[in-house]
Amino acid sequence: MSKLDGKIALVTGGSSGLGLAMARRFTEEGAFVYITGRRQSELDKAVASIGDNVAGVQGDVQRSEDIDRLVERIRAEKGRIDVLVANSGMVAPQLLADATDENFDRTFGVNVRGVYFTVDRALSLLGRGSSVILVSSIAANKGVPGYGTYSASKAAVRSFSRTWTAELLERGIRVNTLSPGPFDTPIMDGQADTPEGGDAVRAKWAAAVPMKRLGRPEELAAAALFLASDESSYVAGIDLIVDGGASAL
């Protein structure tokens, strides 16, 4: 029997990268998965690449009205959410000396506000035995020049999982954090202005990992599956780090 047979899952930011890999793995394990993304064209490609048991809902997690529309669609079509992965995130490196309001507001709007209100709005569809997975980052516990807003936003996500574990355990809802290290996803390209720059970013991060390579999205999806499934029924409030040893060595 598959590990998520009959489950209803929501993966925000599921149109590419880590979110897409998690959504694909969940469907392979028997779940029906809703994925979100800001760009309809990319969302359509993601849905087509997964195939069956998936639906795409366009929206921006910074907009409460988009989250409300998403939740109401799931309520009307399925009536519940068994697995919620708050994965939407962005990174735009910027040194403190170059700080802008736009960078700060967008980073915290997506990475913090988006997570906060996605889980808040979805609470009415989460029942006993459901699993909430918040995607943070090992950057939450590191000091990397240029990543001040990103690292702080991911530290806030880790804090949410602790607080919400305390708030929701009596309702039978488990909340855990999944913290990836450097992974080979399109977010790497977003940190450079050219394809060559993207390759340089990848090489820099791969060199910083003890395993000397970037993670593969399917490797994070495997960890997410553990937290989503009943195999982690006695796991709550943890930070599951998947980083090739980068934060340990």
130-158 pLDDT, tens digit each: 999 999 999 999 999 999 999 999 999 99
The answer to whether residue 1 sits within a structural domain is: no
Residue 191 has pLDDT above 90, yes or no: no
How many domains does the chain contain in total? Answer: 1
Instruction: Decide if 119 is inside a domain.
Output: yes
Please report the pLDDT score of residue 56 as a whole number. 98
What band does 194 get if pLDDT is binned at 50, 70 and 90?
A: confident
78, pLDDT greater than 90: yes
197 within a domain of the structure (yes/no): no
Q: Does residue 139 fall inside a structural domain?
A: yes
pLDDT at site 150: 97
User: Domain span at residue 91?
Assistant: 8-185+217-241
When pLDDT is cut at 50, 70 and 90, the band that residue 186 belongs to is confident
Q: Is residue 201 part of a domain?
A: no
Residue 231 forms part of a structural domain: yes
Catalytic residue among 34, 147, 150, 234: 150
Q: What angle, rounded to 10 degrees, do the helices at 17-28 and 40-50 form?
A: 30
The answer to whether residue 150 is catalytic is yes
192 assigned to some structural domain: no
Please indicate, yes or no, if residue 248 is contained in any of the structural domains.
no
Query: pLDDT tens-digit profile of 1-46?
Result: 799 999 999 999 999 999 999 999 999 999 999 999 999 999 999 9
Token pair 């992965």 in the structure block, residue: 85
Structure tokens at 236: 């709550």
Question: What's the pTM value of the predicted model, to 2 decimals?
Answer: 0.95
What is the domain-level CATH number for residue 221?
3.40.50.720
User: Please, are residues 85 and 22 in contact by the beta-carbon 8 Å criterion?
Assistant: yes
Mean pLDDT (whole number) for 121-125: 98
